[in-house]
Amino acid sequence: MASIEISNAVKSYGAVDVLHGIDLDIQDGEFIVLVGPSGCGKSTLLRMIAGLEDITSGAISIGGTVVNELQPKDRDIAMVFQSYALYPHMSVAENMSYALTLRKTAKEKIADAITNVAEILGLTALLERRPKALSGGQRQRVAMGRAIVRKPQAFLFDEPLSNLDARLREQMRTEIRKLHRRLGATSVYVTHDQIEAMTMADRIVAMHDGIIQQVGSPVEIYDRPANIFVASFIGSPAMNFLKGAYEIAQNDTTGIRLTDGSFVPVLPARGATANQTVTLGARPEHIALVPDGNGGIPARVELIEPMGLSTLVHVSLAGNPVKIFTLDRPDFAVDSFIHIAFDMEKVHVFDTQTELRLPPESEPHMARTA
C-alpha cells in the first residue's frame, strides 16, 4: 500500500482546462472520496492517477515515485469501473487471474489467491461462469475481486455502484467499507452520490469546475461547508438558501434581514460587515416549526411530503422555497401560514459575492479549505 501525492496537477484539452492545479495528499491506507456534479473533473483526476489520461502539467506520485510518464500497467494500481469492464470471453476465475498471469505469478499462487478472494466475496460457486451469466451485483463483486487479487498499491473506484439498484448499492457500500477496513488499502473513490461520499469516506474531496472546493471528513464537510457549492451539494434534502443583509443591532445581536423584512438572528460572523449582502444557509433539519407562532417567522405552506420516518414541509419564505425537516407528522393545509424558527447555532452565513462561508467568530480557524 502506498500514499498518493498530487501536486498542481493540470489537465487541458486544447485550450480548455478541465482541471486547474489540483493539490491533494492521500495518506497510506486512507479512503478518499472525490465527489461533485458531472463534469467537475473527478473522473478525469482518477484516470490521471490510473494513467489513462495524460497529465498536462504538475506531478502525481504513488508511493513516492512520480508516475507521470509511467504506463498504467507499470503503476501497480487496480481500478473498478462503473461498467465493471469484465472480459466477456473469460470465466470469473480467468477474469480475476488475468493480471497475475500477466505478471507470470506461479500457478499455485494464483489458485490460492483466487480461492481466497472468491471466499471473501462469496464468489466460490461462480468461478467457472462467464460474466454474462452473472447478475449485476455478482459482476460488481467480480470486478472487486479482480482488483483485490492483485494486492495493488492503491485501489481506484470509478462510480462502481451507479449501475446497481438502491438496495444492492446500500449493501455494496457497507461491503466495500468492510473490505477496506480488512485490507487497509489506499483507495480513491469517485462518485456523484453525496450519500456514498458521506457514508464511505475517511475524507471527502468536493470538486466543482475542475477545482477542489473543500477537503475534509464527512462531518466536517457537512457541518462546516467552505462555500455555497459544497453546502448545496452535500446533504439531502439540500440546504436552503435565503438572500439578505447582515445586520448588527444596537444590543449587539447580529442577524440577517431577509428581503421581506423578517429578521433571522445568527451568531456573529467572522469578517461580515453591517449591511453586507449575505446568503443565509439553513439545512432543513435546522429549521423548527413553531406551533404557537411565538417568535417565529410566518411562511406559507406549499407542499407536505411524507417520507415515512420524517416529513418534509415545503414553505415559501420571502419568495424563496424553503424545505423543513421534521419527525412530527404535521397536517397543515396547503396555502396556510405557519411559523418557523432558524436554529441560530447551526445556520450558516455566506458572503453572497464570493460564496465563501463566513464562520461564526466563536469557531476555531479551519485547517483545510481550498
The binding site for other proteins (CB under 8 A) comprises 50-52, 71-73, 75, 77-79, 81-83, 85-89, 98-99, 102-103, 132, 146, 150
Beta carbon nearer to other proteins, 102 or 274? 102
Contact 194, 35 (CB under 8 A): yes
How many angstroms separate the CA atoms of 92 and 158, rounded?
21
Nearest to 324 by CA among 228, 195, 237: 237
Beta carbon nearer to other proteins, 86 or 264? 86
Note every long-range contact of 10-17, with CB atoms under 8 Å and residues 24 or more positions apart, other chains counting. Answer: 10/55, 10/56, 10/57, 10/58, 11/41, 11/44, 11/45, 11/48, 11/53, 11/54, 11/55, 11/56, 11/210, 12/56, 17/210
Beta carbon nearer to other proteins, 52 or 211? 52
Smallest distance, other proteins to C-beta of residue 89, A: 5
C-alpha cell at 96: 480475476
Beta carbon nearer to other proteins, 143 or 198? 143
Beta carbon nearer to other proteins, 12 or 232? 12
C-alpha cell at 123: 464468489
Smallest distance, other proteins to C-beta of residue 177, A: 23
Residue 225 φ then ψ, to 5°:
-65, 140
Beta carbon nearer to other proteins, 105 or 310? 105
How many angstroms separate the CA atoms of 331 and 351, rounded?
36
C-alpha cell at 252: 449587539
Smallest distance, other proteins to C-beta of residue 25, A: 23
Quick one: residue 84, left, alpha or beta (phi over 0 = left, psi -120 to 50 = alpha)?
Answer: left
C-alpha cell at 303: 407542499
C-alpha cell at 139: 459482476
Contact 331, 269 (CB under 8 A): no
Beta carbon nearer to other proteins, 61 or 163? 163
Query: What are the angstrom distances between the C-alpha of 236 and each of 23, 94, 159?
Result: 28, 41, 19
Nearest to 197 by CA among 167, 225, 173: 173
Beta carbon nearer to other proteins, 65 or 310? 65
How many angstroms separate the CA atoms of 142 and 121, rounded?
8
Smallest distance, other proteins to C-beta of residue 71, A: 7
Nearest to 24 by CA among 368, 364, 357: 368
Smallest distance, other proteins to C-beta of residue 82, A: 8
Smallest distance, other proteins to C-beta of residue 136, A: 12
Nearest to 347 by CA among 293, 284, 290: 284
Decide: helix, strand or coil at residue 344.
Answer: coil
Smallest distance, other proteins to C-beta of residue 111, A: 18
Smallest distance, other proteins to C-beta of residue 81, A: 5
Beta carbon nearer to other proteins, 78 or 93? 78
Smallest distance, other proteins to C-beta of residue 79, A: 5
Q: What pairs with residue 298 in β-bridges?
A: 339
Beta carbon nearer to other proteins, 89 or 182? 89
Smallest distance, other proteins to C-beta of residue 186, A: 15
